[in-house]
Amino acid sequence: MSNAPTPAAGHMPKPGSQSALRQRNQRLIIETLRELGALSQAELARATGLSTATISNIVKALSAEGLTTTHPTTSSGRRALAVSLLETPEIAAGIDFGRSHVRVVLASPGLIVKAEKFAPLPVGHLASESIATAAAMLADLLAESGIERGQVKGAGVGVPGPIDHRTGTVIRGAILPEWVGVNIVARLEEALDMPIFADNDANLGALAQVTWGEHKAARDLVFLKIGSGIGAGLILNGAPYYGHTGITGEIGHATIFDQGLVCRCGNRGCLETVASTAVMIELLSRGESETLTVGAIIRHAMAGDSATLRVIDDAGMAVGRAIANVANMINPEIIVVGGPLAALGETLLNPIRRGLIRHAVPAIGEGTTVVMSSLGDRAEALGAISLALSRRGLPQDRR
């Protein structure tokens, strides 16, 4: 995918405006320098088709921001100024809040991880406490790694719920009901003293697949996160997709059984009521002396326990049915499954594929690849870093 900034509403200049034109030309210059190395301004003009005046203005601005440097050279025997990209000391942060954890990662625009911390959070944690925890973790990471706060150009933040991109606020439907109505962007900007870019965690998982992950060539990708909730993130036409108000990927609320269990969203028989880890735990804990964990379910499945395998199979088929309806509409190249069940591998992928083939039109069922995410439980935090880098206009190297 291109590293173009994500098209969320409210953050981007209007297409066709002067600032959009300038941003487009600035990106073109940075990408050209990254690809071809140091160039004179005349060479930059030839390589981009831009006028030397445009080049000169933008290079001046880039140098002022510390993104490029100029040094004397000769071009065709004449003295000239060579422009090169600074290997910047800039860092971006990625913060992933889950139902029961927070992870903070620091990385360079070259997508090299510099430092990383994980902490459990109590279920039902309040936004204020978790933000304080993340702020303390970031301070520790900076101190341990010798990175100064001023080097951190911004932080991407993942939250397990929909975010209204117009206001930066967590909205109803989140796995964290305690966070609904919290302006996560404003609160974190205050606590961390840096620009904050917030997004739904599944959207960031999707972004990570095409930046950090194995699927950089995919233009149309669905990232499906199966956890205590079920959500999806979309990469469409090579860019993160946010829809009209930023509430996308709510596949957990696809109707599976018209008269099924009541869901937290207020409907009945949603996918989440038959295929989330919470439902698996409830089904499989009956008759056990204590409530199972996801880890125990994975161990029992690996040991061949038939009830566990049946519950996973039924859940996978339901997930496959829901993604069939999605794939029929948007024809993705690949569906990447993430979340805490990733260790199940083919045990979970097989029923998902069967459900997909059973319910999709044949050409879609046969033509859509379904795989596990190779980024494990770091996908969301790594995607958060990519979000911060692209919003700050720092093109990421492909690793």
* Binder of a second copy out of 94, 158, 229, 249 (CB under 8 A): 249
- DSSP bridge partners of 223: 233, 336
CA distance 16 to 372: 39
Does residue number 322 form part of the binding site for a second copy (CB under 8 A)? Answer: yes
Stretch that binds a second copy, among 96-104, 168-176, 288-296, 383-391 (CB under 8 A): 168-176
Task: Decide if residue 230 touches a second copy (CB under 8 A).
Answer: no
Phi, psi for residue 44 in degrees, rounded to 5 = -60, -40
User: Which residue from 157, 96, 152 is spatially nearest to 121, judged by alpha carbons?
Assistant: 96
331 sits near a second copy (criterion: CB under 8 A): yes
Q: Which residue has the tokens 């036409």?
A: 237
Query: Closest distance between a second copy and the C-beta of residue 194, in Å?
Result: 28
162 scored as a contact of a second copy (CB under 8 A): yes
Question: Is residue 51 close enough to count as binding a second copy by CB under 8 A?
Answer: yes
> Is 60 among the residues that bind a second copy (CB under 8 A)?
no
For residue 19, state whether it binds a second copy (rule: CB under 8 A): no
Residue closer to a second copy (CB basis): 232 or 384: 232
Q: Is 246 in the site for a second copy (CB under 8 A)?
A: yes
Q: Which residue in the set 10, 17, 37, 52 belongs to the binding site for a second copy (CB under 8 A)?
A: 52
Among 250, 313, 377, 380, binds a second copy (CB under 8 A): 250
Applying CB under 8 A, among 185, 324, 335, 381 the residue interacting with a second copy is 324
Interface positions, 251-270, toward a second copy (CB under 8 A):
251, 253-255, 265-267
Q: 154 or 365, CB closer to a second copy?
A: 365
Residue 370, interface with a second copy (CB under 8 A)? no
- The yes or no reply on residue 63 touching a second copy (CB under 8 A) is no
Strand partners, 96: 103, 158
Whole-angstrom distance, CA of residue 391 vs CA of residue 369: 30
DSSP secondary structure letters along 52-102: HHHHHHHHHHHHHTTSEEEEEEEETTEEEEEEEE-----EEEEEEE-SSEE
Rounded Cα distance between 193 and 65, Å, is 19
Candidate residues 219, 299, 354, 392; the one interacting with a second copy per rule CB under 8 A: 219
Residues 6+ apart with CB under 8 A from 263: 253, 269, 270, 272, 273
Rounded Cα gap, residues 42 and 50, in angstroms: 10
CB of 228 to a second copy, least distance (A): 17
Residue in 14, 49, 76, 78 binding a second copy, rule: CB under 8 A: 49
Total Cβ atoms within 10 A of residue 141: 20
Distances (CA, A) of 116 to 13, 142, 165, 201: 33, 10, 27, 18
d(CA 271, CA 283): 15
For residues 202 and 344, which CB has a smaller minimum distance to a second copy in the complex?
A: 202
Is residue 22 part of the contact set for a second copy (CB under 8 A)?
yes
CB of 20 to a second copy, least distance (A): 11
Which region among 15-23, 88-96, 151-159, 376-384 touches a second copy (by CB under 8 A)?
15-23
What six digits make up the tokens of 39?
Answer: 């160039």
Burial tier of 36 (Cβ tally within 10 Å: 0-12, 13-18, 19+): exposed
What is the rounded CA–CA span in Å between residue 319 and residue 148?
44
Paired sense of beta strands 196-200 and 169-170, if any: unpaired
Q: Which of 81, 247, 302, 309 binds a second copy (CB under 8 A)?
A: 247
Give contact residues for a second copy (rule: CB under 8 A): 2, 7, 15-16, 21-22, 25, 31, 45, 48-52, 54, 162, 171-173, 219-220, 232, 234, 236-239, 241-251, 253-255, 265-267, 321-322, 324-326, 328-333, 358-364, 367-368
